[in-house]
Structure 1
Amino acid sequence: MLKNFIFFIFLSSSFGIYSQQLDYSSNTLLDGLNQPWGMDLISENKILITEKVGNLKLLDLSSGEVQDIKGLPKIHFRNQGGLSEIKVSPNFKEDKTIFFSYTSLNLVDGTNTLAVSSASLNGENLENVKEIFRAKANRRTGAHYGAKIIFLRDGTLLISSGDGFDHREKAQFLDNHFGKLIRINKDGSVPDDNPFVNVDGSLEDIFSYGHRNPQGLIQLNDGTIIEHEHGPFGGDEINIIGPGKNYGWPAITYGRDYSGAIISPFTKMDGMEQPVKYWVPSIAPSGMIYYTGDAFPEWKNSLMISSLKAKKVSKISFNNRISSSEDNLFQELNHRFRNILQHPNGNIFLLTDGPRGKLIEISPLKNLEIVTPDGITAFFLRNPESLQVPAKPYDISADADVLLKNALDSLNKNKKLLLILGGNWCPDCRVLAGMLKSQNVKEVIEKNYVVQHIDVGRFDKNLHIPKKFGIEKLYGVPTVLVIDQDEDVLNSPFIEDWTTARTKKPEDLTDYLSRWIEG
């Protein structure tokens, strides 16, 4: 599906607003992933992907071939626990080493904890697997592991460890790994300059503390370390990380307990760091990158934070200081986003959450649309032709049930319903509406179809309509249903074919509609 990021140019000689849209396309590279969590590139053409259930996959981006990597240690998959982060050594070409985090079961007492191992990748096999970190954060729950890994510029590893949900008070104490960031060398040893080396009662690998469930972790070229973490009911936050700093959880927080109860009456306290940004309500942030690519120059110098609950990527400008505003991207995809990665070519990879996870590539498509001051929209397709399209083909105030009933009542054995679900915000929806007005398409429509547009907002309106026909979830718009007199959907495997309408011609629509005339 094509989505749009819009910026505005104001001309001093006119009160008009000119909107030039820089378009992007989304392409599913891999589908059917089982609880995907982490990803990292070993080259420009190959990417490693973890599945929380305990699988490690290698995808060839050129051929689409997927290999299952063998040799992982035993993974304890439970709730939020399982195989998590994957990080390729900065010197992978020479050392073939990868690092990965996972949940490990303690066989003695049945508790579990976060672990990190290194291994050599040899073809489809892991060799020389070595556990280099095991968190002193044993719990019986399956929640809040953190589990992020990054390489710092000095070659050390920074690892996030969550508070275990039931152990949040321990985040304020230095004798455990609950709610901490941990810094170690690649062999698991402790760097001499860690902030709590030779501090009585403290674990020497701790770098910072007072965290809840850190899920985003990056370091900028100037050395700045940025972290984000899940709050409870509200209070997700972004922090600038410094060695030895206390980030307050649970003594200070902008969130409440899930029950609504107050966790702490304080949002500030001496000796505890303030977030540079927080969210109320929560967005459930997951991955994070600092965008530096050329594919989308308007996004440069921005944090891009994927989120689960909010089903979006938040773009927040960060150039020495964080912006107070943010742009919401990719909401039209309607997915819980588990992770985000920048490819060397500037494209963006997104992992979606859940038992049917996807790897999606976001790439630019420019100059497809020009909006003129008089409101007429011209879409210039990939072919040389241009097409005039309506600005508002969807009646946002109409009663969808009445529209559907009237359309169904008008069907007969020769007429089928062309039910088009979309919204006026969606360029592809408007392109499709414009194609319906082309002469050849009109001839097919008039003889064989009743056309009805129904507004589904931004996937938050009239969603009961597709459910009437067994469509439980919309994965893009426009979604096109061809429905016969018996109210059966004839094109069920192909209802998403027109989510990229701007890449097609009216002739393609004529051919598509002709396929369903005979039922």
Structure 2
Amino acid sequence: MLHVLIGAISALVTLATQAAALETRVGAVRVDAMITGLDTPWAIDFLPGDGFLVTERDGDLLHVRNGTANRVEGVPPVRASGQGGLLDVTVPRDFASSRDILLTYAKPQGRGAGTALATARLSTDGTALTNMRVLFESADGGRAGRHFGSRVVEGRDGTLFVTIGDRGEDALAQDLGAHNGKIVRINRDGSVPADNPFVGVAGARPEIWSFGHRNPQGAGLDARGRLWTSEHGARGGDEINLIGKGRNYGWPVISYGRHYSGRKIGEGTARPGLEQPQFYWDPSIAPSGLLVYSGRLWPDWRGDVFVGSLKFDYIGRLDGSPLREAERISGPETERVRDIVEAPDGTIWFISVGQGTVYRISPAG
């Protein structure tokens, strides 16, 4: 890892002076590489001041500040296999007082792994995690190496939403006795909120907030505090969903895609009682990170949804009612966009897995 970090620091110094430009409907925007030389980066989030954290799927958490990247010790063991590993990182709103961070990852479970959420305290020098606690782990995650989700989003009320894929067992997305294909909601201490929709329902997991999801790899809140997700379909049928308490999003009963074999999925595209997506793609774009933009630096983008495409190497901007894909922002930098987030100053940051780089979008000039 040391040679990667040294390479990353050197590239940062060079690339930070070599800004590129991307063309958008509001004009050109500036793109700067903030750190490069990363190995399968998955997620980023910001610390107070000028630092940020970035995860690498094989299990490393990096703290970047003032042009220097340091590996953070104390990350929990992960099952880095297939799509699993160290996944999301979120810095909660009370970090300045608690110094807590949140991590989702593929937690080893015997010969398999399950999506898990842990919290830990980041040392004042940013080099170590202490007081590591597992707040949640999916029951019997299975041995498949796919469809872990996995994002963690802090709700306005301080509760935590965690997205979990179906792990390749599609029927379990409809089973309230399993965590597969669900979004769960827990308190910061790992307990179950009393107002969760399935508390007290016989045979149901009380952590479940919504169900019928295939593989939600992007999630974010809008200005009203509503949760949005981007979800992988099969062959077609990638979705943007607005998540509601206790709602069923249909997988695998309904879908706008087909199985990879070409076989029809479920009953078609709609059924009473099952939620419709706010938008869907066919063919699939393999959506990952999702951001609902505040409009701080680009007022024309206020409330727009930004989604990264892993398959077609672009950032999609969606707006309107009904939601539509208004433009595709692309360039050499947008190769396999994994995560996309808004910084406290209103700039937009994204991860290019293909480039092994974290980029920042800011106004040109």
Provide TM-score, normalisation by structure 1: 0.65
Q: Does 1:143 align with 2:138?
A: no
1:27 to 32, 35, 38: 32
Counterparts of 1:27 and 1:201 in 2: how far apart (Å)?
Answer: 50
Counterparts of 1:44 and 1:168 in 2: how far apart (Å)?
Answer: 43
Counterparts of 1:105 and 1:224 in 2: how far apart (Å)?
Answer: 32
Deviation of 1:300 after TM superposition, in Å, equals 2.0
- Specify the code of the residue in structure 1 equivalent to 2:257: G
SS in 1 for 2:171: helix
Query: Deviations for 1:196-255, whole angstroms, at most 9, x for unmatched residues?
Result: 000001000000000000111122232322112000010001111111111000000011
- Specify the code of the residue in structure 2 equivalent to 1:364: P
Deviation of 1:70 after TM superposition, in Å, equals 0.2
Query: Deviations for 1:439-497, whole angstroms, at most 9, x for unmatched residues?
Result: xxxxxxxxxxxxxxxxxxxxxxxxxxxxxxxxxxxxxxxxxxxxxxxxxxxxxxxxxxx
Query: Deviations for 1:284-327, whole angstroms, at most 9, x for unmatched residues?
Result: 11001111143223222211111101211111125xx4433421
Please name the residue that 1:453 is paired with: none
CA separation of 1:260 and 1:44: change in aligned 2, threshold 3 A: farther
- Specify the code of the residue in structure 2 equivalent to 1:283: I
The higher-RCO structure (CA 8 Å, 6+ apart) is: 2
Counterparts of 1:268 and 1:147 in 2: how far apart (Å)?
Answer: 26
Please name the residue that 2:248 is paired with: 246
1:211 to 213, 224, 238: 213
Task: Flag the structure with larger Rg.
Answer: 1
Is contact 1:96-1:120 (8 Å) kept? yes
Is contact 1:309-1:336 (8 Å) kept? yes
Deviation of 1:350 after TM superposition, in Å, equals 1.0
- Alpha-carbon RMSD: 1.4
> For structure 2, which runs of at least 5 residues remain unmatched after alignment?
1-19
- Specify the code of the residue in structure 1 equivalent to 2:56: E
2:93 to 87, 90, 94: 90
CA separation of 1:44 and 1:296: change in aligned 2, threshold 3 A: farther
> For structure 1, which runs of at least 5 residues remain unmatched after alignment?
8-21, 367-519
Please name the residue that 1:3 is paired with: 22
Please name the residue that 2:197 is paired with: 195
Counterparts of 1:276 and 1:331 in 2: how far apart (Å)?
Answer: 27
Is contact 1:44-1:344 (8 Å) kept? no
Q: Percent identity?
A: 37
Is contact 2:61-2:71 (8 Å) kept? yes
- Specify the code of the residue in structure 1 equivalent to 2:80: F
- Specify the code of the residue in structure 1 equivalent to 2:357: K
Counterparts of 1:308 and 1:128 in 2: how far apart (Å)?
Answer: 35
Please name the residue that 2:324 is paired with: 324
- Specify the code of the residue in structure 2 equivalent to 1:79: G
SS in 1 for 2:96: helix
Is contact 1:190-1:205 (8 Å) kept? yes
Deviation of 1:266 after TM superposition, in Å, equals 1.3
Moved more, 151-160 or 328-337: 328-337
Q: Please identify which structure carries the higher helix content.
A: 1
Please name the residue that 2:230 is paired with: 228
1:201-350 → structure 2 map (5 Å cutoff) = 201-318=203-320, 321-350=321-350
Is contact 2:160-2:188 (8 Å) kept? yes
Please name the residue that 1:49 is paired with: 54
Counterparts of 1:155 and 1:308 in 2: how far apart (Å)?
Answer: 30
- Specify the code of the residue in structure 1 equivalent to 2:22: K
Deviation of 1:34 after TM superposition, in Å, equals 0.6
1:63-102 → structure 2 map (5 Å cutoff) = 63-102=66-105
Please name the residue that 1:400 is paired with: none
Is contact 2:223-2:294 (8 Å) kept? no
Is contact 1:172-1:209 (8 Å) kept? yes
Is contact 1:3-1:332 (8 Å) kept? no
Is contact 2:109-2:140 (8 Å) kept? no
Counterparts of 1:52 and 1:84 in 2: how far apart (Å)?
Answer: 6
